[in-house]
Amino acid sequence: MKIKLDRTLCDGFGICAKHAPEHFPLDDWGYASLAGNPVIAPTDEPAVTRALLDCPVHAITTLPEPGRPDTGSAATAPGSAQK
Ligand code: SF4
């Protein structure tokens, strides 16, 4: 899974950091950022998904990943031409 954190939405509840602290470090004011690679390893997906679902302001969202059928809505094969 690939995720995005919209810091303009974050209200600093810190729930994401509780579930997956290695992915969501908090700054001095308690606001989260996304650490490292936005592509989450399968072993970390449960904790990150829990953070995503528990964020009260939905600041964490998933992004479509090419080649993964379970992401995104209007899937388009990579390299296919659209006119
Ligand atoms: S759970 Fe949501 S609102 Fe709370 S710190 Fe994380 S991203 Fe920000």
- Mutation test residue for ligand 1: of 3, 15, 24, the one with most atoms within 8 Å of CB: 15
> Which range marks the domain in which residue 27 is found?
2-63
35 within domain boundaries: yes
- Look at residue 15 and tell me if it is in a domain: yes
Q: What's the whole-model pTM score? A: 0.80
- Distance between CA atoms of 36 and 22, rounded to whole angstroms? 9
User: Does residue 78 fall inside a structural domain?
Assistant: no
CB 57 near ligand 1, within 6 Å: yes
Averaged over successive runs of 10 residues, the pLDDT of the chain (83 residues) comes to 97 97 97 96 97 98 82 43 44
20 ligand 1 Cβ < 6 A: no
Q: Which atom of ligand 1 is nearest to the CA of 14?
A: 5
Token representation of residue 46: 């449960």
Contact 40, 46 (CB under 8 A): no
Cα dihedral sign, 71-77-81-83: negative
Q: How much is the pLDDT for 66?
A: 79
Report yes or no on 73 lying in a domain. no
Structure tokens at 19: 């579930």
Number of structural domains the chain divides into: 1
71, two tokens: 């992401």
43, 49, 63: which is closest to 2 by C-alpha?
Answer: 63
DSSP one-letter code for 22: T
For residue 26 the two structure tokens come to 């908090």
In a domain, 76, yes or no: no
What CATH code is carried by the domain that includes residue 50? Answer: 3.30.70.20
